[in-house]
Structure 1
Amino acid sequence: MKKIKIALVSSSGGHLYQLYMLKEWWQKYNRFWVTFDKEDAKSLLADEKKYYCYYPTNRNIPNLIKNTFLAFKILIKEKPDLIISTGAGVAVPFFYIGKILGCKLVYIEVFDRIDLPTLTGKLVYPITDLFLLQWEEQKRFYPKGIVIGGFV
């Protein structure tokens, strides 16, 4: 069995921290990170392989275009088997390019969104292989999602 390679993709801040909290799981895999060039990412991921993407990503078309080209470049180079993300906007180009390249996609909807879906969640839901939820209430937006409970 070949060793699995994982891309962990997220904005900095709470999105990054939620992915980082899965360390017990991801640390046993060959991996790399894609996030913002910000102090929290530099500190948390000091000893990790990482790529910095363009920000801000929220409704920023120029950075979406730049991150789409960046996603293609990184994913061609790294060839991950799996892309996992908690959002936000940077996940969108990585998921769509990753899907085209044959990557498996796992999205974890964020903990603090109970009553409304996130824009990123809505955009990647149709193409994910596994869509994980932290609240039962989120199932009304993502009926095929699997509730795993909160981990923050």
Structure 2
Amino acid sequence: MTESMRVLFVCSSGGHLDQLLALLPQPEGVDIAIATFLKPDASSKITGMRSYGLFWPTNRSVKALLINLKRAFSVLRRERPAIIVSSGAAAAVPFFFAGKIFFRTKNVFIECFDRVDNATMTARLTKPVTDLYVCQWDSQLSDYPRREQVTRSR
């Protein structure tokens, strides 16, 4: 039996979660867990999936950052993902840094599709530890190395 590649989705609930769930179902050989805010809208979308609750609200909150950093270490120790994927928002920051520095993860940031002109704050904060940025628009992340532009399949 071959071991699956472990991937951790980290995002806030709402549109960020919807954007990552659009990547499902995962390819064969990929095992996905999700770390998000376990609000009612999110919980119903991830029923039956391995999930971890994150502390919120995170908006410019040092308290939330520290609590989620502790949770990041706990989740990363348990899951041991090879890749962390996030579409934002602030919850991604402690996971990307802890993952890269202590667990040697590859980090992929998918920029919000409604962000046309510039990078989100989370994209800017995680720049030192992000291996790949995925964006939809030509104008997104133009000053970021390691980026791929994607288009919708038809």
Q: Which TM-score applies when normalising by structure 1? A: 0.92
User: 2:104 corresponds to which residue?
Assistant: 102
Identity level (%): 40
**Larger deviation, residues 27-36 vs 42-51:** 27-36
User: What letter is aligned with 2:80?
Assistant: K
- Which consecutive aligned stretches of 4+ in structure 1 deviate over 6 angstroms post-superposition? none
User: 2:146 corresponds to which residue?
Assistant: 144
1:32 correspondence with 2:33: yes
The CA RMSD over aligned residues, in Å, is: 1.7
1:3-152 matches, cutoff 5 A: 3-25=4-26, 29-100=30-101, 101-149=103-151
- Whether the aligned pair in 2 keeps the contact of 1:53 and 1:70 (CA below 8 Å) is yes
SS at match of 2:25: helix
User: Which structure has the highest helix share of the two?
Assistant: 1
Deviation at 1:24, TM superposition (A): 3.1
Deviation at 1:73, TM superposition (A): 1.1
- Whether the aligned pair in 2 keeps the contact of 1:4 and 1:80 (CA below 8 Å) is yes
**Structure 1 CA distance, aligned partners of 2:50 and 2:143?**
34
Q: Deviation digits for residues 120-148 of structure 1, max 9, x if unmatched?
A: 01111221111111111104242432111
Q: Deviation digits for residues 18-70 of structure 1, max 9, x if unmatched?
A: 00001033675212100001112111101111000000111011000000011
Q: Deviation digits for residues 92-112 of structure 1, max 9, x if unmatched?
A: 000000001111111101101
Aligned residues: 151
**Structure 2 CA distance, aligned partners of 1:141 and 1:40?**
35
Query: Residues 144, 79 of structure 1: CA spacing in aligned structure 2 closer, same or farther, 3 A cutoff?
Result: closer
Query: Residues 81, 144 of structure 1: CA spacing in aligned structure 2 closer, same or farther, 3 A cutoff?
Result: closer
Query: Residues 150, 54 of structure 1: CA spacing in aligned structure 2 closer, same or farther, 3 A cutoff?
Result: farther
Unaligned runs of 5+ in 1: none
Query: Residues 102, 143 of structure 1: CA spacing in aligned structure 2 closer, same or farther, 3 A cutoff?
Result: closer
**Larger deviation, residues 89-98 vs 120-129:** 120-129
**Structure 2 CA distance, aligned partners of 1:4 and 1:28?**
6
Unaligned runs of 5+ in 2: none
**Structure 2 CA distance, aligned partners of 1:45 and 1:115?**
31
**Structure 2 CA distance, aligned partners of 1:26 and 1:32?**
14
